[in-house]
Amino acid sequence: MKTPMVVAAAVAALSMAAAGCATQAGDHAETDAPAARAKPDYRATGVIAKSLPEIAEALRLGEITAEALTADYVARIEAIDRAGPRLQSVIAVNPDALKDARASDARRAAGKPLGPLEGVPILLKDNVESADNMATTAGALALKDNVTRRDSPLVAGLRAQGAIILGKTNLSQWANFRDDLSMSGWSALGGQVKNPHMLDRNPCGSSSGSGAAVAASLAAGAVGTETNGSISCPSTVNGVVGFKPTVGLVSQQYIVPISASQDTAGPMTKTVKGAAMMLNAMATGEARSDYVAALDAGALKGARIGVARFGQVRTLRSSRSSTRR
């Protein structure tokens, strides 16, 4: 079993390959200039490219409204998740997200924000129930109409701090609890999630949709779930921060289950502080604390980091063996 951990990695600028435009019949060769072959640039810009704490601050300062921010994320999902490179990291967009964002703007205008996440759009892994008009499917056709109209406690906690539930993310079907050799990041409803940094690379783990969506700036943060590596692995390979809390700190209620002794939901976002902000809202257990206040920039001073070199050697040998075959 993978050790639960915070996986923090610098988020590289999103740059994905796309096919160039084909030259039409009859065009002269000299018109096939580099500009005509230029590939689209899918990197995020503006507020949506920022981290969750920066987005929350921009909302607080009135630099952007929750409605405009939510609309920008919905447009980006359409542009690169449903079209373009087709990341397929989002199964469903909340049809009421813009309405909820307008309500958030109204609360802020009245001087009554609910909390630090007021107006911040968050995606949920599609095994977590929410009271929105969206099914909770675990990626399976059998649950495609499973609209429960109830919030899991973690979602209620996010809403209580003002978060906007933007939609549901794709996942390994049934959170990968179906076969030892099942495809990571594939579901019958959502198709295959792609790693936004390298489209043909494994997005890893059943929370791959949440990891890819955060890396591609499709939401300020996302909720993942882990039984055995399903937050830590997609966070690692997609270059984001993921945290598996101690089991019981975040309620398992109304989440499609695997193991009562191992299952937990956790935050996935671009920075450690963003993950702490989400966990403050999601945690319901008696041991919950103020995780943002507890952050210490010097906490890792003097720490030693181990590198499993043997894993790299084994991978290299496996690659060479495959080449010989």
Burial class (CB in 10 A: 0-12, 13-18, 19+), 307: exposed
Is residue 230 flagged as an active site residue? yes
Residue 62, Cβ neighbours under 10 Å: how many? 10
| Collapsed DSSP state (helix, strand, coil) of residue 100 | helix
Half-sphere exposure of 173 (CA within 13 A, CB side): 19
Which backbone phi and psi does 122 adopt, to 5 degrees?
-130, 140
Question: Would you call 210 a catalytic residue per the annotation?
Answer: no
In whole angstroms, give the CA distance from residue 20 to residue 37: 5
Contact 48, 219 (CB under 8 A): no
Q: Rg (Cα) of the chain, in Å, rounded?
A: 20
For the chain, give the number of residues: 325
Task: Given the residues 51, 206, 210, 235, select the one marked as catalytic.
Answer: 206
Tokens of 268: 């996935």
State both tokens at 99.
Answer: 């309405």
Q: Are 88 and 170 in contact (CB under 8 A)?
A: yes
Output the six-digit token pair for 162: 């003002």
- 244 catalytic? Reply is no
- Which of 142, 136, 212 has its CA nearest to residue 168? 136
Catalytic residue among 51, 230, 232, 251: 230
**Given the residues 50, 51, 104, 125, the one annotated as active site:** 125
CB 152 within 8 A of CB 255: yes
Show Cβ contacts of residue 84 under 8 Å, excluding neighbours closer than 6 positions.
Answer: 16, 18, 40, 42
Give the active site residues. Answer: 125, 206, 230
